[in-house]
Amino acid sequence: MTAWKDSAGGRRVMAVLSSRPFLTVAIVAAVWIAASFASRGFGAYGHLRYLVELGAVIGLVAAGQTFVVIAGGIDLSVAAIVTVSAISLPLLSWGADPTGLAPVLAVLALTTIIGLVNGLGVALLRVHPMIMTLAMATFLQGLLIIIAGGSAVTAENPLVHWLGNARPAGIPAGVLLWVAVSVIVLTVMHATPFGARIFAMGANPLAAALSGVPVTPTTLAVYGISGFTSGLAGVLVLGMNGQGYVGIGDPYLLASIAAVVLGGTSILGGLGTYAGTIPGAILLVTITALITVVNASPGWRSILFGSLILGLLLLSGREQARR
Amino acid sequence: MAPLLAARGVSKAFFGNPVLRDVSIALRPGRVHALLGENGAGKSTLINLLSGALRPDGGTIEVDGREVSRMTPVHARQAGIAVVQQELSLTASLSIAENIGLGAYPKRFGLVDYRELAARAKAACELVGLHEPLSTPVGQLPLGRRQMVEIAKALYRKPRVLILDEPTSSLSATETKILTDLLERLRGEGIAILYISHRLNEVMTLCQHVTVLKDGTCTADQSLEGTDAAGLVRLMVGRDPGDLFPQWRPSASPATAISVRNFSAGLMHDVDLDIRTGEVLGIGGLVGQGQEDLLLGLYGAIPARTASATVNGASGLPGGVPKANALGLAYVPADRKREGLHLIHTITTNMMLPAFARLPALKLRSRRAERETARGLAAQLGIKGDLARQAQALSGGNQQKVALAKWMPHDPLVLLLNDPTRGVDVETKREIYLMLRAFAAAGKAVVLLSSDTPELVHLCERVAVVRDGRIAAMLDRAALSEEAIVSAAMGAENRKVAA
Nearest CA-CA distance, residue B381 and chain A, Å: 19
- pLDDT, tens digit, for every residue of A129-176? 999 999 999 999 999 999 887 788 888 889 999 999 999 998 999 999
CATH architecture for the domain at B5-239: 3-Layer(aba) Sandwich (3.40)
Closest Cα in chain A to B301: A210
- pLDDT, tens digit, for every residue of B174-215? 788 889 999 999 999 999 999 988 777 788 889 999 999 888
In the CATH hierarchy, which top-level class contains the domain B256-357+367-490?
alpha beta
Give the C-alpha distances (Å, rounded to integers) separating A91 from A82, A140, A155, A248.
15, 16, 8, 16
Nearest CA-CA distance, residue B332 and chain A, Å: 8
pLDDT for A234 beyond 70: yes
Q: What percent of chain A has pLDDT over 70?
A: 93
- Count of pairs with CB atoms under 8 A, one residue in A, one in B: 93
Q: Taking residues B206-235, what's their average pLDDT?
A: 85
Which of the residue ranges A150-164, A228-242, A269-283, B406-420 would you say has the lowest mean pLDDT? A150-164
Which of the residue ranges B224-238, B290-304, B462-476 would you say has the lowest mean pLDDT? B224-238
Q: Chain B contact for A189, CB < 8 A?
A: no
Q: Taking residues A265-269, what's their average pLDDT?
A: 91
Q: Taking residues A235-245, what's their average pLDDT?
A: 94
Residue B173: pLDDT band (50, 70, 90) is confident
Q: What is the pLDDT of residue B498?
A: 37
Q: Taking residues B277-300, what's their average pLDDT?
A: 91
Residue A12: pLDDT band (50, 70, 90) is confident
Q: Taking residues B255-272, what's their average pLDDT?
A: 94
Domain range summary for chain B, segments of one domain joined by + = 5-239, 256-357+367-490
Q: What is the pLDDT of residue B454?
A: 83
pLDDT for B287 beyond 90: no
**Alpha-helix residue ranges (DSSP H) falling in A92-156:** 101-123, 129-148
Q: Taking residues B358-362, what's their average pLDDT?
A: 93
Residue A319: pLDDT band (50, 70, 90) is low
Nearest CA-CA distance, residue A272 and chain B, Å: 11
Residue B417: pLDDT band (50, 70, 90) is very high
Q: Taking residues B36-49, what's their average pLDDT?
A: 83
Q: What is the dihedral of CA B380, B386, B390, B394, to 10 degrees?
A: -60
Q: What is the pLDDT of residue B461?
A: 93
**Most confidently predicted of A43-47, A280-284, A307-311, B66-70:** A280-284
Q: What is the pLDDT of residue B494?
A: 44
Q: Chain B contact for A270, CB < 8 A?
A: yes
pLDDT for A192 beyond 60: yes
Q: Taking residues A89-111, what's their average pLDDT?
A: 86
Q: What percent of chain A has pLDDT over 90?
A: 63
Q: Chain B contact for A199, CB < 8 A?
A: yes
Q: Chain B contact for A186, CB < 8 A?
A: no
Residue A113: pLDDT band (50, 70, 90) is very high
Asked if A210 lies within 8 A of B355 by C-beta distance, the reply is no
Asked if A213 lies within 8 A of B356 by C-beta distance, the reply is yes
Nearest CA-CA distance, residue B301 and chain A, Å: 7
Asked if B353 lies within 8 A of A191 by C-beta distance, the reply is no
Q: What is the pLDDT of residue B40?
A: 67
Asked if B342 lies within 8 A of A271 by C-beta distance, the reply is no
In terms of pLDDT, which residue wins out, B335 or B11? B11
Q: Under CATH, what is the fold of the domain A46-316?
A: ABC transporter involved in vitamin B12 uptake, BtuC (1.10.3470)
Give the C-alpha distances (Å, rounded to integers) separating B87 from B143, B165, B166, B169.
11, 9, 9, 11
In terms of pLDDT, which residue wins out, B266 or A148? B266
Closest Cα in chain A to B324: A212
Closest Cα in chain A to B350: A200
Q: Which of B299, B322, B339 sits opposite A207 (nearest CB)?
A: B339
Phi, psi at A157, each rounded to 5°: -120, 120
Nearest CA-CA distance, residue B383 and chain A, Å: 20
Q: What is the pLDDT of residue B216?
A: 85
Q: What is the pLDDT of residue B219?
A: 86
Which of the residue ranges A25-39, A265-279, B232-246, B279-293 would you say has the lowest mean pLDDT? B232-246
Closest Cα in chain A to B356: A193
pLDDT for B376 beyond 90: yes
Closest CA to A322 of A218, A215, A202: A202
Q: What is the pLDDT of residue B456?
A: 92
Q: What is the pLDDT of residue B496?
A: 39
Q: Chain B contact for A9, CB < 8 A?
A: no
pLDDT for B444 beyond 60: yes
**Most confidently predicted of A118-127, B138-147, B251-260, B490-499:** A118-127
Q: What is the pLDDT of residue B238?
A: 62
Residue A191: pLDDT band (50, 70, 90) is very high
Q: What is the pLDDT of residue A235?
A: 96
pLDDT for A115 beyond 90: yes
Q: Which of B324, B340, B361 sits opposite A192 (nearest CB)?
A: B361
Residue B144: pLDDT band (50, 70, 90) is confident
Instruction: Write out the E strands in B105-251.
Output: 107-108, 111-112, 161-165, 192-196, 209-214, 217-223
Q: What is the pLDDT of residue B497?
A: 37
Query: Which stretches of chain B sit within 8 Å of chain A by CB?
Result: 299, 301, 321-322, 324-325, 331, 333, 337-345, 349, 352-365, 392, 406
Q: What is the pLDDT of residue B241?
A: 46
Asked if B355 lies within 8 A of A188 by C-beta distance, the reply is no
Q: What is the pLDDT of residue A1?
A: 45
Can you tell me the distance from the alpha carbon of B182 to that of B167, in angstroms, rounded to the nearest whole number? 13
Q: What is the pLDDT of residue B285?
A: 87
Q: What is the pLDDT of residue A310?
A: 85
- How does B15-48 read in b/e, with b if 16+ C-beta sit within 10 Å? eeeebbbebebbbbbebbbbbbbbbbbbbbbbbb
Please check whether residue B251 is in contact with residue B279, taking contact to mean a CB–CB distance below 8 angstroms: yes
Asked if B354 lies within 8 A of A212 by C-beta distance, the reply is yes
Q: Which of A204, A212, A270 sits opposite B322 (nearest CB)?
A: A212
**Most confidently predicted of A221-225, A302-306, B78-82, B405-409:** A221-225
Q: Taking residues B293-310, what's their average pLDDT?
A: 94
Q: Chain B contact for A321, CB < 8 A?
A: no
Nearest CA-CA distance, residue A207 and chain B, Å: 4
Q: Chain B contact for A14, CB < 8 A?
A: no
Mean pLDDT over all residues of chain B? 87
What residues in B contact A270, CB-CB < 8 Å? 342, 344-345
Sign of CA dihedral B407, B243, B465, B202: positive
In terms of pLDDT, which residue wins out, B1 or B400? B400
Asked if A212 lies within 8 A of B324 by C-beta distance, the reply is yes
Q: What is the pLDDT of residue B107?
A: 84
Return the CA Rg of chain A: 20
Instruction: Write out the E strands in B356-485.
Output: 414-418, 445-449, 462-467, 470-476
Q: Taking residues B342-355, what's their average pLDDT?
A: 95
Residues 214-233 in A contacting B (C-alpha not used; CB under 8 Å): 214
- pLDDT, tens digit, for every residue of B467-478? 889 999 999 999
Q: Chain B contact for A15, CB < 8 A?
A: no
pLDDT for B423 beyond 80: no
Domain range summary for chain A, segments of one domain joined by + = 46-316
Q: What is the pLDDT of residue A323?
A: 47
Q: What percent of chain B has pLDDT over 90?
A: 50
Q: Which of A187, A207, A212 sits opposite B342 (nearest CB)?
A: A207
Asked if B322 lies within 8 A of A211 by C-beta distance, the reply is no
Can you tell me the distance from the alpha carbon of A242 to that of A305, in angstroms, rounded to the nearest whole number? 26
Closest Cα in chain A to B341: A207
Report the alpha-carbon angle B152-B156-B160, nearest 5: 105
What is the SS3 assignment for B7?
Answer: strand
Q: Chain B contact for A211, CB < 8 A?
A: yes
DSSP class per residue in B466-484:
EETTEEEEEEEGGG--HHH
Strands B329-332 and B111-112: unpaired
Q: What is the pLDDT of residue B416?
A: 96
